[in-house]
Chains A and B, each alone.
Chain A
Amino acid sequence: MKHPRIEMAHLDNLWFQVTGTLCNLACTHCFNSSGPDVKTFGHLSIEQVRHELEEGARRGVREVFFTGGEPFLHTAIAEMLEASLEFAATTVLTNGTLINDRMSDRLAEIEHRSRYSLEIRVSLDSFDERTNDAIRGVGVFKRVMATLARLSRRGLLPLVTVVRTWSDAEEQEILPGFTRILREAGYQHPRIKILPALPLGRELVRLPGAHDEPWVTEEMMHDFDADLLMCSNSRIVTDRGVWVCPLLVEKPDARLGDHLADAASGYELAHRACYSCYQYGTFCSNISAGIEGTGTLATHAEHGEA
């Protein structure tokens, strides 16, 4: 089967898999199977991060993302976020269990000093403690709620990200449920982002056979804005090289080079997870690109002369 090839349009989003696949939790739907003993990928050093930030800035990067594993397992994470904010808006994706008062103070200080936005994305999977902890681990719900309150008290507005693990029929009750418990926890104007479950990693063990996503075909690319796909606008730096996007770090064919500077080649949409990206746009970013209705949007249309 021939898969469509996507050329890189521009490096909008630079990702760092800063703690590799090391995480203090082992969530049942984790798309890169991170966990306490998972050493598929390891830690990045602050020097590696600085080097690639400078390369990213040379290429006009727009936003930087720190993920893992769990980024707050890295002892230099605050320093890295501070360095990154000198170049671009920066996001850290965390499970929220390791952010104590001292770290919250530090994050607030970093955010207030920066002219670009610092986004703290905290994962939560249900507004019901038992359901959440069945996915994320015992005691996690309470620790996360405490972190959200801590950040909120300091004027930070974490973006709560939720992987969709419910049915369409339940959808109506889900968002108000999250809003209610977040307010009860002291987070007055909660920001919530829903992410699709991905047909990758531990999720395939959790729900075997549930993900029969199709592959993206050449025909599907007609009238489709390829700029919406992560492979056209993102790269992720790991301790084992640079991969095409955060989703495909476990796929050997998605490794494009040793460094950012040699990872600009195009990529074929060879995996089922590419269909998730096709469906939802660059949903790994904070604000997903809306795809519905954008197919005919006039881009780069004719220039009028004055």
Chain B
Amino acid sequence: MERLALLGGLYSNYRALAVALDGASRRGVDGIYCLGDLGAFGPYPDRVFPMLQRAGVQTIQGNYDNSLALGLPDCQCGYTDPRDNYFARLSYDYTFRNTSEENKAWLGTLPATLRLEIGGVRLLLAHGSPRKMNEFLWESTSPDPFLNYLLDEAQADVLCVTHTGIKWHRALAGNRHVVNVGVLGRPENDGTTRVWYTLLTFSGSSVAVEFMPVFYDHLALSDDMQAERLPPEFIETIITGWWTTCLEILPHKERARGRF
């Protein structure tokens, strides 16, 4: 049996990351992987880097990381709504200013995807999708035939992604799985303050997927964000668990579950 912990977007939430790393290590996982987007949204972007490096977390690049490493003018988040883009810009500019050159260079060394083979099961880790770093794989717009196509193209049995901010798991015929591992950066628009990471357990050819809630000091994070003068809309999400920005990208089902 082999067990992996998969961390989605961190969005600079170093407080939730600390709790998740501690939880994963207590569960005796065989490896910890981060699927990218270390920065965005949250405070003090440099803080998550040494934590990942100390814990030996293998990290792949998200669109935010790609933008920071290349010095691009925006986060390539894939938003199209003017209000969403306004907040994305605030967040990116803050993160860009507050990420050290050394850390930006490190982001540039990360691979875009990572392949593992565990007991004959082929696992592919990507940020958005295997074909595009900033593609959103939402549960309600990722039908089975499409997911099977992605797995065929990627020559994988299990695909794990993040990028959307909301976790889900689809078990497909032939012992195949697609998992959106969720994010540690902000709550998933369900009115609670917890965030999530994912455990994958491989035994023989079977794969078990378990979503792990992370309860952390979200009020301390909100104090950090206030001290850094981050937008009140971002802080509200941390405190209430409801998304207030970047909503227009949500498909109908995911949008209907939220408050805004």
Contacts and interface: CB of A to CB of B under 8 A. Distances in A.
A215 interface: no
Interface residues of B, number: 51
B79 A61 contact: no
Contacts of A167: none
Nearest to A91: B252
Contacts of B78: 287, 289-290, 294
Contact of B140 (A117, A192, A300): A117
B62 to A, nearest CB: 11
A191 B248 CA distance: 7
Given A87-B143, A89-B143, A306-B58, A293 B114 contact: no
Interface string B238-249: 000000000011
Contacts of B116: 306
B131 interface: yes
Interface string A27-52: 00000000000000000000000000
A304 interface: yes
B60 to A, nearest CB: 7
Interface in A169-201: 175, 189, 191-193
B132 A111 contact: no
Contacts of A193: 80, 248
Given A157-B255, A303-B115, A293 B143 contact: no
A117 B76 CA distance: 25
A296 interface: yes
Contact of B255 (A191, A302, A303): A191
Contacts, number: 131
Contact of A304 (B111, B254, B256): B111
Given A60-B145, A117-B253, A290-B80, A297 B140 contact: no
A10 B150 CA distance: 10
Nearest to B253: A117
Nearest to B141: A89
A193 B255 CA distance: 15
A233 to B, nearest CB: 11
B215 to A, nearest CB: 28
Nearest to B31: A306
A286 B133 CA distance: 19
Interface in B52-69: 58, 60-61, 63, 66-67
A118 B256 CA distance: 11
Contacts of A288: 80
A302 B167 CA distance: 26
Contacts of A115: 140
Contacts of A57: 143, 145
Name A's interface SS: loop
A227 B141 CA distance: 18
B112 A298 contact: yes
B141 A63 contact: yes
Contacts of B73: 293
Interface in B14-62: 31, 58, 60-61
Contact of B112 (A116, A159, A189, A302): A302
B174 interface: no
Given A289-B78, A290-B79, A61 B146 contact: yes
Contacts of A222: none
B131 A299 contact: yes
A111 B249 CA distance: 19
Interface in A258-306: 286-290, 292-294, 296-306
A303 B111 CA distance: 6
Interface of B: 31, 58, 60-61, 63, 66-67, 70, 72-74, 76-83, 110-116, 131-134, 136, 138, 140-143, 145-146, 148-150, 152, 248-249, 251-256, 260
